[in-house]
Structure 1
Amino acid sequence: MPSPPPVCLADFADLARTVLPPQVWDYIDGGSGTETTLSANRTALDRVGVLPRVLTGVATASLRTRLLGRQYAMPVGVAPMAYQRVAHPDGEVALAGAARDAEVPYLASILGSTPIEQVIATGAEVWFQLYWLRDRGLVADLLARVREAGCRALVVTVDVPVLGRRLRDLRNAFRLPPEIIAANLPGGRDDLAHGGTPGVTPVAVHGGVAFAPALSWADLRWLGEQCDLPLVVKGILDPADAVRAVDAGARAVVVSNHGGRQLDGVPASATMLPEVVAAVGDRCEVLLDSGVRSGVDVLRALALGAQAVLVGRPMLWALAVGGRAGARTGLALLADELRDALALAGCADPTAARELRTVSMG
């Protein structure tokens, strides 16, 4: 008997696990260390109780949202994720196309397995995610390339001085298939991602060679001076770092622990979100990622003070199951859930949701 169609994002997880090779499933699904932080991301969101308002006269909620000065259909973006062609042959093109269909931003990874120009050709609103390369000249060249291609924002990930120790990948001796390359890096720079080094995953070896571990606030300021795109800093947990990011020119920060894939044992992103929001006030926009799985989770994030969320793994599950159509369905289900959640909470729009009170259900 065929499986029933998905009715929520979680349904895509079970379906994706049946179609993906076990090593690829673990690469997508896994976290670092004992996966304490990976688990904490879900636990923290599940403990957020949202107090709905009643008799507000709201029958149908609008999801329209403004981020970095541009209008989007809902307060959701597709998180940057590397090597999307491991999940589906169409990879980044399919997922960006689904984001275009849903009218939400697509964050393209520097480690995308499709060139950024092809991603932008889908018509999606693309924000480009950057890891700091050891060669500053290559960084400058890449900035010029993404500006010329038409990216709408630059997202600098700051929580990866080295790649987190991901035990599932080590146990599986995971390596990228030879046809999957880092298409945005100069030719040959991802060869190490296909090799083998005892005790270290090839992807980690490649990252250690390509990326500079000593990114500083001075580098971030330099980056802001070189690029006229809105600057977003992703990977913030400490409120003091959020303030410094704004001082360095950030228009937005993403409260994130990299989906539990970097330092294991750090707090859940949702736990730190209210403190970051309080620290930056109205000086910048604040987004959340790590652990978002439903429209209710989006409502929780809004009520905790975020302007929007980024969704990662569930979009790869949907991509794996159905390509662009699967990802489009996943985003549509998320929009339906959020619309219902807003109406049930008595909110006409996402801005109203940010006025809701929350309580701990832990």
Structure 2
Amino acid sequence: MAQDSFDIAIVGAGIVGLAHALAATRLGLSAVVVDRDAQANGASIRNFGFVTVTGQEQGNVWRRARRSRDVWAEIAGPAGIAVEQRGLAMVAQRPEARLVCEAFLATEMAEGCTWIEGAAARAFLGDMRPTHLEGVLSSMIDLRVESRTAIPALAAWLEQGRGVAFRRGVAVHHVESGRLETAEGVIRAQHIIVCPGDDLTTLFPDALAKAEITRCKLQMLRLASPGYGLPATIMSDLGMVRYLGYAALPEAKALKRRLQAERPDHLANGIHLIVAQGADGSLIVGDSHHYARTPDPFASDQVDRLILEEFRAVFGSVPPVLERWTGTYASAAGHSIVEAPLEGVRLVVVTSGTGASTSFALAEEVIADLTDDRLGAAA
């Protein structure tokens, strides 16, 4: 008979839930992960797999990204997860973007970053042919995994290598202190962590509504291999007015004004460019951002055209499109919410699209808090 009592029960098998399972096992706690789906199919596998440190918001978010990146590096080998790429190349195409990069390099967040310009920048980019090039902000801190395979591999390793129990295809319909009621019976746990992703109605809907969480829909594409390797994951000027590590700098204001004049449709559709390369050479390209409580499921050809227009400006030509898809994630002001709706229960939602980049560190904080609570209660 399956075990039904654990130290920690986690609702949700996306990256946020899996990160909490890892943090629990590192403290020697028994853990179960319950998910209504038979396999991962949400935001955790529909993204770039890019563990982005450079450009994250200064302070706690950047610190969490640094720590999470280190955890990814630690577990990738044991979990059989390939690190597909290392580093980030911010391709600055406008003088205003160059000023943002120079300002960024003067901050503490620029550890591991360098500025490359002129012939050295073009040599660094290889066969890429940007329309204009001021230089490249290069970082070797960031890394990328293939989300479609990394998330299942992480779950399998947690189950087989670290003793985490999984209950898949099982809906949780009620949570109370020490107890989960599921479609297959009751699971008891001293502590419960609910990681609902962008499911805003099933568990603790009042708390999620109070946090003013909505949903963000994004569009992404996979392109055929361009026939050459990229030096790192690529971003462009549009990213400098979206990622707060750059966008919060005073120098970003001039860049945003210019982009509003030159790229108004891109900004209106929340488009910025990320291009990541898989082991087969294909390119994952995105993305856009549209917000609604219930986003429509349809992908706009016009939005894809805008994304590829920015791709062309950075790369020079566009390979054939192999796949198109949409994704959704929970969105609200700030990086995340961590609420305690009941004693021994935490509601955890990453609300900024940075789950892959920050969840491991966030989970360590949440598990440490719960562990302190347990020790305090025992005392």
TM-score by length of 1: 0.29
Tell me which structure has the larger Cα radius of gyration: 2
TM-score by length of 2: 0.28
